Chains A and B, each alone.
Chain A
Amino acid sequence: MSRKDAIFYSLLGAFAAAMAYTIPLIFLHTPTAQPQAGGLAQKIFYFHVAVAMGIYVTGGACFLASAMYLVRPSESANAWARAGSDCAALFGTLVLCSGPLWAKKAWGVYWVWDPQLTTLLLSVLIYWAICLLRAFAGDGGAERRFAAALGVMGTVNLPIIYFSVQKWGGNHPTVIREGGGGLDDSMKPAFRWGVLTLTLLLPPLLLWLRSRLALVQASMEHTWQEALTRGLVDHPDDFEPGEEALPNAHGVR
């Protein structure tokens, strides 16, 4: 097992163990909040906030790697930029799905055009746009640069999400932020474990997995090009990175 694999399996093990501890902690050992805060539905908070913080981790990775790619293009920077936008899109979608489920109980509606919700939606749409661009517009130098520029732009919007609460008001709770009353002591362990599991362990795990996928896809494209040049495979127009290679006359796939 290589050193990288060892790090990955350590992360996976730590994440699984932390998750196994966090779930019963939230469901069985953490008290229910007041009905105005959603009652039982308030327990969504313990991973909703942690996953929302995960957007900053994955978005930050996307920003750094995208900026690095724009300055000095490399396969590695492109892979991490791609991984960052993929993971930020996933985390953002999870936040946008879990938040409304709590809001329906606490506010009576799934969605309001609150500044924080709206700016988050904008960021998630940008990350999804990057994913779609990379999936359907090819993997050439121009597409990579455009995706990297979008990655920088999407992450620049993230601080606006955070500060929108202070600047523009709205309905979104400010429990653990400046001006908030905070959590009761009995609720803090669940929140801390949620942050450990979903903000500190899950994002690096997913980033590593997705960056490895992007690197393997790039390796496939290079290998395929070499195979084409050497006359080993046919049908160059049918190939897309990640798809199964077509067999040539020698039966090589």
Chain B
Amino acid sequence: MSSSLSSSAQTGTAPQDRSTQFVPVEGGGPQTTDAGTFMVAAYVLMWLATVLFILQTWRKTRGIQQRVDELQKAIAKLPQDGG
């Protein structure tokens, strides 16, 4: 934590100097292509990760559940112990 404190001090930004509000500007203000690129990259990353996470979890759950069902059916077909 001491390193983060010293780094924060190195930036010369006091707590009261940082952004405290967001306000709209007319016409969007001067922009560079970078801002749009960063925004698109962030959104693509976000949704891609979320969708892949959901699909991977769904697929894995379904696959394992199918194998559990198959095994349980096979176990049920076995003769009962001592029977």
A contact set with B: CB distance below 8 Å? 31-45, 47-48, 51, 90, 93-94, 97-98, 101-102, 104-106, 112-115, 117-118, 165, 168-175, 179-184, 186-187, 202, 205-206, 209-210, 212-213, 216-217, 219-220, 223-224, 226-227, 230, 232-233, 242, 244-245, 250, 252-253
Tally B residues with Cβ within 8 Å of A: 52
A113 touches B8 (CB 8 A): yes
A-B contact pairs, 28 of them (CB 8 A): A32-B28, A32-B29, A33-B23, A34-B23, A34-B25, A38-B35, A38-B38, A47-B43, A101-B42, A101-B45, A113-B4, A113-B8, A115-B4, A165-B15, A168-B1, A173-B19, A173-B20, A174-B18, A175-B21, A182-B21, A186-B24, A187-B22, A209-B57, A210-B57, A217-B64, A219-B68, A224-B71, A230-B81
Report chain B residues within 8 Å CB of A102.
Answer: 38, 42
- Residue in A31, A44, A112, A165 whose beta carbon sits within 8 Å of that of B39 in the complex: A44
CA distance in complex: A147, B57 (Å): 20
Report chain A residues within 8 Å CB of B63.
Answer: 244
Report chain A residues within 8 Å CB of B43.
Answer: 44, 47
Given A38-B35, A170-B18, A175-B19 in contact, is the A223-B72 Cβ separation under 8 Å?
yes
Those of B62-80 within 8 Å (CB) of chain A: 63-65, 67-68, 70-72, 74-75, 78
CA distance in complex: A242, B68 (Å): 10
Q: For the complex formed, measure the closest distance between the CB of B62 and the CB atoms of chain A, giving whole angstroms.
A: 9
- Residue in A35, A104, A113, A114 whose beta carbon sits within 8 Å of that of B29 in the complex: A35
B49 touches A93 (CB 8 A): yes
Q: For the complex formed, measure the closest distance between the CB of B63 and the CB atoms of chain A, giving whole angstroms.
A: 8
CA distance in complex: A96, B63 (Å): 31
Those of B12-64 within 8 Å (CB) of chain A: 13-15, 18-25, 28-31, 34-36, 38-39, 41-43, 45-46, 49-50, 53-54, 57-58, 60-61, 63-64
Report chain B residues within 8 Å CB of A169.
Answer: 8, 13-15
CA distance in complex: A125, B71 (Å): 37
Q: For the complex formed, measure the closest distance between the CB of B44 and the CB atoms of chain A, giving whole angstroms.
A: 10
B64 touches A220 (CB 8 A): yes
CA distance in complex: A224, B64 (Å): 11
A44 to B, closest residue via Cβ: B42
B24 touches A252 (CB 8 A): no
Q: For the complex formed, measure the closest distance between the CB of A65 and the CB atoms of chain B, giving whole angstroms.
A: 17
B57 touches A37 (CB 8 A): no
Q: For the complex formed, measure the closest distance between the CB of A250 and the CB atoms of chain B, giving whole angstroms.
A: 8
CA distance in complex: A242, B13 (Å): 50
